[in-house]
Structure 1
């Protein structure tokens, strides 16, 4: 029923009509249902996108990811660096937040020759978001060609 038709009804006719035919209730119901669906979609979207890195110590894989970035900064041609995805050796002391990561990298050297190198990064986690470089203090970086 349209609102214009509703206005033409007498008070007794309005009282006998069910709620589902009432024009204001239809509009309010539609807007309420739409609002609830949008609200739920937004809440689920926010919860899926939130990645919590705070209030916990980094894992070996997370420290490895950070160490790869540090090693890249020390290479002559960082854009050519190829790191293994999971082949690394972590030494982690959570009491002192000390991380030592050892792995390999294949990259071009200054002469343009591809070489395999072994690298070791000693670093301390200082707190905060592990994925930010400001949360780490680098003690030493060692990169040496494999024999």
Structure 2
């Protein structure tokens, strides 16, 4: 019984490359990304799934990494903010001033990137539903909505 509690080396596909990591069965993906792999762009916030600061993409879908165990990511493609290189949504956030303090930005970028891929023709209702998964304490929602709309309409 004690054997299952011991750390194990896992291979995870992170940002397009296979990475080996020593992890315990109880480690969350958020902890593994930050503490074990040094990918600190994924932010801890509430650590109970409410704020979305820890959002990453799993096989293209936004997931709160504080709620996912590392072992659940085996065989899946994990995309963190560090792997989101030169995506149109990044330029849209800059051009629309869609951030203030920046703490929530990586989570919102991941959600918006996924939204633009999964629902490229999203209407206002779909956009608002997707943005509800994340919180911005600086109230930058209008600018974030403008940024995603600029992607969906091809203005960026």
Q: TM-score, normalised by structure 2?
A: 0.27
Instruction: Normalising by structure 1, report the TM-score.
Output: 0.28
Which of 1 and 2 has greater Rg?
1
Bigger RCO of structures 1 and 2 (CA < 8 A, at least 6 apart): 2
